[in-house]
Amino acid sequence: MTTSTKAANLFSELKTRIDARQARVGVIGLGYVGLPLALLYTEENFRVTGFDIDRGKVETLNSGGSYIYRIPPTEIQVARQREFRATADFSGLTDMDAIIICVPTPLDEYREPDLSFITNTAKAIAPHLRAGQLVVLESTTYPGTTEEVLVPTLESGNSCGLRAARGETTDGANHFFVAFSPEREDPGNQSVARRDIPKVVGGLNHQASDLAALLYGAIFNRVVPVSSPAVAEMTKLLENIYRCVNIALVNELKLLALRMGLDIWEVIEAASTKPFGFQPFYPGPGLGGHCIPIDPYYLSWKAKAWDFQTRFIELAGEINSAMPYHVVSQVSRALSQQGKALKNAKVLVLGVAYKKDIDDLRESPALTIIELLQKDGARVSYNDPYFPFIGKGRHYELHMKCVPVEDVHEFDCVLIVTDHSDYDYRWIVQHASLVVDTRNATTGIHSDNIVRC
């Protein structure tokens, strides 16, 4: 058997194993993206192993528990019955046929891409690579990361001389396959089933694309192949930049509408009646989540290498980043109109998750707002049904305990930052002395103690 025949066999064997649901799938990073993905593969009877450096998560999953609100423990327990397991031992990657990387890609203190999670993960994978494996990166990043960062790290870190398959077909049996497929998670979205979200895939060569398309086609109803990993990487950035720029636009218009004495929410509702050429976006207290506040900066950073300034992206970032400051200013103004100063005022922040009905604090504007209020001397408390405690994170250190929402009457101001469905807003308005609403949560409620900003 020739070397090229062996290589072709490795490709064909993996295709066959995926098609027959016999491929072993390893998912690295068991957070808001990786764990749901692992469970989808388990539902389709793949043998799935989840890898994570957080031993607490590993122990929770292996005992049948869950640390993500929208994933009940029963789902983990069913998956465990189907041989799903979690581990912090990366040597088990050798046994995987496909390895999917779902690790964070944050910004550093200078708002530049921090790829340390990707590089460290690639270094952990490399010693355990074997010929014929498929490695897929899902972490959102700038165009070129897969080919310029992931692949070289995987190639240089293994001692067997393995190389990523390039070109039309592999030219030897010592190859592994590489692709990029951006995650498209939308926590809290109950209207679109996870399987119905089309999956974009871009392989380093056509064989990698075929394998990735087949792998994701087993759990998603539609797969969208593109010509390269860089195109897939850029696709994800375009999706999030589109939202970032439009949210910035409507945030700016909200500030103008406030000065003009207009209700921006009424304006948006009226504009939404147009059956073509308009998609509604809504203002808020700032951007949150792992994608929209971060991803645009990945492209603007990369653009500098091409001597290109992404002015729309940077302006949108400035507008959205300024919204927490606007909120604090409005709280101060509302208190002043009641003859009170912000300093020493008791402020209750309602909702700290970055959007309604989820247990996700990543980049939440509520955290910035709390810090700004504290800096101005306010005595700040919070309530959120999803967070009994706020400790220390990558960019914050608050150490606060949730207080009962029934205590709203004890505060000088109740600030609605996240409009969770659990809140009875009519009752809150009735019992609070002042309500500052950043989410239009009190729409339809008429009271002199409401300030909408």
pLDDT computed for residue 6 by the predictor: 53
List phi, psi (to 5°) of 280: -75, 135
Longest Cα separation, the chain: 88
Q: 203: part of which helix (H) or strand (E)?
A: strand 199-203
- Indicate where the chain has its CATH 3.40.50.720 domain(s): 3-232, 262-452
244 is catalytic: no
Torsion angle, alpha carbons of 36, 38, 43, 49, to 10: -150
CA separation for the pair 148, 121 (Å, rounded): 15
Q: 100: part of which helix (H) or strand (E)?
A: strand 98-101
SS3 label, residue 256:
helix
Pairing type for strands 24-28 and 98-101 reads parallel
pLDDT computed for residue 401 by the predictor: 97
451 Cβ neighbours under 8 A, 6+ residues apart: 330, 334, 434, 435, 436, 437
Pairing type for strands 175-180 and 199-203 reads antiparallel
Contact at 8 Å (CB) between 330 and 255?
no
User: pLDDT tens, 329-363?
Assistant: 999 999 999 999 999 999 999 999 999 999 999 99
Catalytic pick among 102, 291, 413, 453:
291
pLDDT computed for residue 134 by the predictor: 97
Positions of E strands within 351-417: 379-383, 389-392, 397-401, 413-416
pLDDT computed for residue 1 by the predictor: 44
Instruction: Please state the CATH superfamily assignment of the domain spanning residues 262-452 in this structure.
Output: NAD(P)-binding Rossmann-like Domain (3.40.50.720)
pLDDT computed for residue 144 by the predictor: 97
How many CA atoms lie within 13 Å of 344's alpha carbon, on the beta-carbon side? 3
Cα 451 to chain center, whole Å?
A: 31
SS3 label, residue 166:
coil
Q: Please identify every stretch of the chain with a pLDDT value under 50, giving residue numbers as ranges.
A: 1-5
pLDDT computed for residue 111 by the predictor: 85
Residues, the chain: 453
pLDDT computed for residue 2 by the predictor: 47
Pairing type for strands 24-28 and 223-226 reads unpaired
Contact at 8 Å (CB) between 353 and 422?
no
pLDDT computed for residue 66 by the predictor: 97
CA separation for the pair 34, 340 (Å, rounded): 47
User: pLDDT tens, 378-407?
Assistant: 999 999 999 999 998 877 889 999 999 999
pLDDT computed for residue 7 by the predictor: 52
**What six digits make up the tokens of 383?**
């309530």
CATH T-level assignment (fold) for domain 3-232: Rossmann fold (3.40.50)
pLDDT computed for residue 132 by the predictor: 94
pLDDT computed for residue 3 by the predictor: 44
316 Cβ neighbours under 8 A, 6+ residues apart: 241, 244, 245, 247, 248, 249, 296
Where on the phi/psi map is residue 390: left (φ > 0), alpha (ψ -120 to 50), or beta? beta
Please give the model's pTM, rounded to 2 decimal places: 0.92
pLDDT computed for residue 4 by the predictor: 46
List phi, psi (to 5°) of 241: -70, -35
User: pLDDT tens, 205-264?
Assistant: 999 999 999 999 999 999 999 999 999 999 999 999 999 999 999 999 999 999 999 999
